[in-house]
Amino acid sequence: MKFLVTGGAGFIGSNLTKFLCDRGHEVIVVDDLSWGYRRLVDPRAKFIKGQIQDRRLMEKILPKTDVVFHLAALSTINLSLKKPVFYFENNVLNAIQLLEAMRKTGVNRIVYSSTSSVYGEPKRLPIREDDSKEAISPYGGSKFAFENVLSAYYHSFGINSVSLRYFNVYGPNDEQKDNPRAVPTWIKQALTGAPLRVFWRGKQEKDYIFVGDIVRANWLAARHCRGRRYYNVGSGRSVIMNDIIKMLEKIFGKKLPINHAGERAGDAQRVVGDNSKLKKELGWRQ
């Protein structure tokens, strides 16, 4: 099969590309390298430096593509608070250009990397797919906006799509520029002796999921990409951030200095997902 992976030089996209290449598929990666790294792209994939809003480029690449995996999006809450217009332009308007190129070339399946940030601060745990969505950051808002665009393109033009709402992903190749994720940031700080920058006094409740599990969810979604579907992709287990700090202290064999940075805008305090729908409908397992 032939796949297009947008954002394939990033954390999740590079892992997905390797997975597809390992199975002998033809993979084209499109990435402008503004956040990813060329060296992370599997050499068996065809790499094209470009942008998804370049309609001429996308219409040249897309013919005979079986499925598009769309991961080319801005994905940090902090930056979305500083540059909200930039986020909505990139995550919504530019992505619509990708859909238009798909429509023009007759490609009708897309797997979209969404986020648990669409839910905002949940009213109950674990979060289910049909729970209320009230984003508390431009990042979450832009992701949910594009989910609605995908719904419109399915009902209007027959483009099938699956939205995968990732929770907190960890694993190899997590080298995003200006990386805000706690675990890789804390490890680097611990290695250099710098204080760990901790929000909410470490009392946040998160759902951590390994990138390999995310990749398999994408693969299953591509195989079942019919209609319009939404799935949580998380472990379903609660992790308190202070417990991660204790684990790091055990690994490093010392007490780690802490810099309590207060509350962080746009970041929910308790986020744990119900993954039963993904297991039941797609047969996903961790």
CA nearest neighbour of 42 among 24, 62, 21, 63: 21
Instruction: Label the pairing between strands 205-206 and 196-198.
Output: unpaired
Strand partners, 110: 68, 161
| Distances, alpha carbon 259 to alpha carbons 39, 199, 224, in Å | 33, 9, 45
227 backbone φψ class: left, alpha, beta (φ>0; ψ -120 to 50): left
How far apart CA 185 and CA 226 sit, in angstroms, is 38
Q: What is the CA radius of gyration of the chain?
A: 19
Tokens of residue 114, six digits: 């969404």
Three-state SS at 267: coil
Tell me the torsion sign for CA atoms 150, 34, 50, 46. Answer: negative
How far apart CA 138 and CA 84 sit, in angstroms, is 6
Q: At a CB cut-off of 8 Å and minimum separation 6, what does 8 contact?
A: 14, 16, 17, 27, 29, 30, 31, 36, 41, 45, 47, 69, 71
The answer to whether 103 touches 158, Cβ cutoff 8 Å, is: no
Burial readout 15-32 (b: 16 or more C-beta within 10 A, e: otherwise) = bbbbbbbeeebbbbbbbb
How far apart CA 92 and CA 152 sit, in angstroms, is 13
Q: What residues act catalytically?
A: 139
